[in-house]
Chains A and B, each alone.
Chain A
Amino acid sequence: MLQLILQSVANGVLIGSVYGLISVGLTLIFGVMNIVNFAQGELLMIGMMAAYFLSGALQLDPLLIAPLVGVGGFLFGMLTERLVIEPIIKAPQSAQIIATVGLSLILANGVALLTGNNFFSVTTAYQDQSFDVLGLSFPASFVYAAACALVMAILLGLFLNKTRYGKAMRATSQNRYAVQLMGIDPRWMYMLAFGIGSALTMVAGAVILPYTLTYPYIGQHFILIMFTVVVLGGLGSVRGAIIAGLVVGVVQSMSTLVLPIEIQNLPVFVVFFFALVLIPGGGFQRIFRRRPN
């Protein structure tokens, strides 16, 4: 029994680190731009699709394609911000929600038109391998994905804390008017933040492809997990999102011990609901408070 519990915690940590990576993009965009991007799930889907077709065309593993997907995602995100988000950045919140929901429809159905509503998955050399440590087994594809997530999180942390642009971006998230006086153009920061947010989520799509499958409408499936993670971690908090990702992963994985697998998302929603009820301003932000939101 202890073995089972430990195993499911381990699985949860592996999945959860990827949940963190998926959600960091959403929370970064929210923190800097004060926009909830309802199309973030579709960005993940596009990352998965891009990794699938590129790895087929170039005969490379999706994990090696991931940096390429990241660069593409960055450019795609910047372009999208310019065309779709920029016109509504000062519009009422409802207009922003509707615009990003519209964007998610366009992306999901645009891809469905191009590829057909089919399932795609890759085969890799390591898909049946696993690492056995202390009697626990860690599937290789999950371990690699979690390692990529860790690398991305470190890179993002370095960017935000050590570089001029990262500091400017954090300043923009604190006060978008004051930064203008400091010579920072917030519109450029918005493009950059949306580009980086998109890139992170698309890279996440590429690294999870080896252990899952993709189809044009898979974004809807992931968006709720993203929202749960982001709300639990505190809207706009990068560190909170990574920790909350781990929590959600472990909760989901532990719940499969007692609940049938079809309803493994139900406990996630319960967590989501309690995050809303119990903790004003979002969960972990209270523990790791850096600034009032």
Chain B
Amino acid sequence: MATHTTSRAVKPRTSAAIGWLVFLVAVFTAPLYLDNQYDLRLAILVCLLGGASIGWNLLGGYANQISLGHITFFGIGMYTVAIFQSSLHLSPWLAIPVAVILSLAVAALIGWPSFRLSGHYFALATLALLPVSELVASGWESLTGGARGLSVPILPSGLATLQFDRPEPFFYVAAAFLVIVLAIARLVRFSTLGMRLSAIRSNPEAATLAGVDQFRAKMTALLISAAIVAIAGSLYGAFLQYVDPRTAFSWDTTLNLVLFAIVGGLQFWWGPLLGAAILVPVNEYASMQLSGNLAALGQLAYGVILLLLIIFQPRGLGGLLQTVFQRLEGGSRK
């Protein structure tokens, strides 16, 4: 966040570098000030879900193509890791490329027909992804363990198995993932692809007139974002050491990805991270406090936040911050 606002100042490159440095130090020293296991667990969730939401945003925020099925790629990642570790006795690191390839195939299968049609068809098609994956996951028992799911056996701890006796090492893995994803999101945002996606967002017809191949741009963004979400899911699966159809392909997590991006600000590359950093702790706290019938209250609040933000502050908190900073800068110049 700091990087974006300071990059508008006199020497953008230096201040951007300082911003990244501050951010990296803040992230990688987190285990020093988050000294209990619970907070560290939340930090891991922020990294993984925030990273997945950044991946979603490459398509949803940059190009305005709302996917309601991205958690399918997340679930594919979780399942691949679990299957590799429990049935095949292979390292989760080998599972990640497999999960990515599977997700790319699914993404191509859904993007290819629906991006050729205009408008609403992509969102509709992605919505069908989740129930289909859940059906496959609970039906194909020999592979996925059916509705009972799969548990990863306890293995000797270490980077090779992605199992650790303390949460700190896993946090570093998750943080490294987050930093890489952020860098990719920044890179894509200001690349030719990013410009094309922006053009599609602001005016699809004009973008076509300007020579943007919409199908290709959307497809590329979808594939990159599917790969990112698949890796996030793989790491999440390794972290939970358990998977079943409901946690892998959950509608709640889908909504989380969307909500993080909206709260943070759809058109900012760092927006989803801001949203995740605020909402993951709130979410955890709320789910501890609200149980039984009151659990619906949390979801109800989600719906209200979505509606109010989209009606009154469609640029999210990031947009709010940007306005504030611009006012401050404008004020100091006078």
Interface of A toward B, CB cutoff 8 Å = 30, 36, 38, 84, 87-88, 91-95, 97-99, 101-106, 108-110, 112-113, 116-117, 216, 220, 223-224, 227-228, 231, 235, 262-263, 265-266, 269, 272-273, 276-277, 280-281
State A141–B169 Cα separation when bound (angstroms).
60
Query: Would you call B66 and A97 a contact (CB within 8 A)?
Result: yes
Chain A neighbourhood of B293, CB < 8 A: 112-113, 116-117
Query: Would you call B119 and A106 a contact (CB within 8 A)?
Result: no
Query: Would you call B60 and A227 a contact (CB within 8 A)?
Result: no
Query: Would you call B131 and A224 a contact (CB within 8 A)?
Result: yes
Contact of B303 among A102, A220, A265, A280 (CB under 8 A): A102
Which of chain A's residues has its CB closest to B294's CB?
A113
A59 to chain B, nearest CB (A): 28
B72 to chain A, nearest CB (A): 13
Q: How many A-B residue pairs have CB under 8 A?
A: 118
Query: Would you call A93 and B113 a contact (CB within 8 A)?
Result: no
For residue B307, CB closer than 8 A to chain A, the reply is: yes
If the complex has contacts A106-B300, A224-B127, A277-B113, are A269 and B132 also in contact, measured as CB distance less than 8 A?
Answer: yes
Enumerate the 5 nearest inter-chain pairs by beta-carbon distance, A residue then B residue, closest first: A105-B303, A102-B306, A106-B303, A112-B296, A109-B300
A-B contact pairs, 24 of them (CB 8 A): A30-B120, A38-B127, A84-B307, A88-B311, A93-B119, A94-B65, A97-B123, A99-B306, A99-B310, A102-B303, A102-B305, A102-B310, A103-B303, A106-B304, A109-B303, A112-B293, A117-B296, A220-B251, A262-B135, A262-B138, A266-B135, A276-B113, A276-B121, A280-B116
Which of chain A's residues has its CB closest to B138's CB?
A262
If the complex has contacts A91-B314, A113-B300, are A231 and B66 also in contact, measured as CB distance less than 8 A?
Answer: no
B279 to chain A, nearest CB (A): 14
Proximity bits, B172-201, A CB within 8 Å = 1, else 0: 000000000000000000000000000001
Q: For chain B, which range describes its interface: under 10, 10 to 19, 20 to 34, or 35 or more residues?
A: 35 or more
Given contacts A84-B307, A273-B128, 10 further A-B contacts (CB under 8 A): A93-B120, A98-B66, A105-B299, A113-B294, A113-B296, A113-B297, A231-B121, A262-B138, A272-B125, A273-B113
If the complex has contacts A112-B296, A262-B139, are A91 and B310 also in contact, measured as CB distance less than 8 A?
Answer: yes
If the complex has contacts A88-B310, A91-B314, A272-B128, are A263 and B262 also in contact, measured as CB distance less than 8 A?
Answer: no
Which of chain B's residues has its CB closest to A107's CB?
B303
A134 to chain B, nearest CB (A): 35
Query: Would you call A101 and B120 a contact (CB within 8 A)?
Result: no
Query: Would you call A98 and B310 a contact (CB within 8 A)?
Result: yes
For residue B117, CB closer than 8 A to chain A, the reply is: yes
Query: Would you call B132 and A105 a contact (CB within 8 A)?
Result: no
A148 to chain B, nearest CB (A): 27
Query: Would you call A36 and B124 a contact (CB within 8 A)?
Result: yes
Chain B neighbourhood of A109, CB < 8 A: 296-297, 299-300, 303
State A235–B306 Cα separation when bound (angstroms).
26
B116 to chain A, nearest CB (A): 7
**B98-121 residues at the A interface, CB under 8 angstroms:** 113-114, 116-117, 119-121
Chain A neighbourhood of B307, CB < 8 A: 84, 99, 102-103, 106
A44 to chain B, nearest CB (A): 16
Q: Most chain-B Cβ atoms within 10 A of its Cβ — which of A102, A106, A231, A281?
A: A102
B23 to chain A, nearest CB (A): 28
Query: Would you call B310 and A265 a contact (CB within 8 A)?
Result: no
State A37–B79 Cα separation when bound (angstroms).
32
For residue B258, CB closer than 8 A to chain A, the reply is: yes
Query: Would you call B128 and A216 a contact (CB within 8 A)?
Result: no
Contact of B258 among A98, A113, A269 (CB under 8 A): A98
Chain A neighbourhood of B113, CB < 8 A: 273, 276-277
Query: Would you call A227 and B310 a contact (CB within 8 A)?
Result: no
Query: Would you call B120 and A235 a contact (CB within 8 A)?
Result: yes
Chain A neighbourhood of B302, CB < 8 A: 102, 105
Which of chain B's residues has its CB closest to A260's CB?
B139
State A184–B135 Cα separation when bound (angstroms).
47
Which of chain B's residues has its CB closest to A112's CB?
B296
Chain B neighbourhood of A110, CB < 8 A: 296, 300
If the complex has contacts A99-B311, A216-B296, A269-B128, are A92 and B64 also in contact, measured as CB distance less than 8 A?
Answer: yes
Which of chain A's residues has its CB closest to B201's CB?
A92
Chain B neighbourhood of A102, CB < 8 A: 302-307, 310
State A87–B312 Cα separation when bound (angstroms).
9
Contact of B266 among A36, A93, A94, A101 (CB under 8 A): A94
Which of chain A's residues has its CB closest to B303's CB?
A105
Which of chain A's residues has its CB closest to B129's CB?
A269
Chain A neighbourhood of B135, CB < 8 A: 262-263, 265-266
